[in-house]
């Protein structure tokens, strides 16, 4: 069933469906995660920043991966990017009206990484069918780029 953008972003039925799909994808990747219920219409950026800071400190890792800040990029991606430490590996996503960002360094996955990503993406059946997000699931263009 196709849902409206409002249903995906404001806690509607699509939001919970996407949460289940994310749980599936994270299980495929073997990644621990937790869902934070911040609705897109009234985000508490100071609280999100505090939580991200707590997580970064608790991880005690040399490798942190997060979104890049991109002129014309998604406002949520850019906000998160501004909260992350300088040594974060930054991935590119898209610029509104221009599609997928490709002006960084292409990350070429191994065959095993490619297979893992393909399986994880299959968890997002509703997103693959949703017109605004469907292009991100095109098997012909699954390249990834980092700054």
Per-residue pLDDT of 24-82, as tens digits, reads 999 999 988 888 877 777 789 999 999 999 999 998 888 899 999 999 999 999 999 99
Phi, psi of 50 (to 5 degrees): -60, -45
Instruction: Count CB atoms within 10 A of the CB of residue 123.
Output: 19
99-117 confidence digits (pLDDT tens): 889 889 999 999 999 999 9
Provide the 3-class DSSP secondary structure of residue 43. Answer: coil
- Which strands, in side-by-side order, build the sheet including 144-146? 65-67, 89-91, 144-146, 105-107
């Amino acid at each position: 069933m196709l849902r409206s953008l409002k249903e995906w972003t404001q806690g509607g039925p699509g939001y919970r469906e996407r949460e289940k799909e994310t749980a599936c994808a994270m299980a495929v990747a073997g990644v621990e995660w937790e869902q934070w219920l911040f609705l897109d219409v009234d985000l508490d950026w100071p609280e999100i920043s505090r939580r991200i800071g707590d997580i970064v400190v608790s991880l005690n890792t040399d490798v942190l991966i997060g979104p890049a800040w991109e002129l014309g990029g998604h406002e949520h991606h850019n906000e998160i990017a501004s909260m992350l430490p300088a040594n974060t590996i930054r991935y590119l996503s898209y610029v509104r009206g221009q599609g997928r960002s490709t002006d960084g360094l292409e990350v070429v996955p191994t065959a095993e990484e490619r297979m893992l990503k393909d399986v994880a993406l299959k968890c997002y059946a509703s997103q693959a069918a949703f017109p605004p997000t469907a292009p991100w699931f095109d098997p012909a263009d699954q390249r990834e780029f980092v700054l």
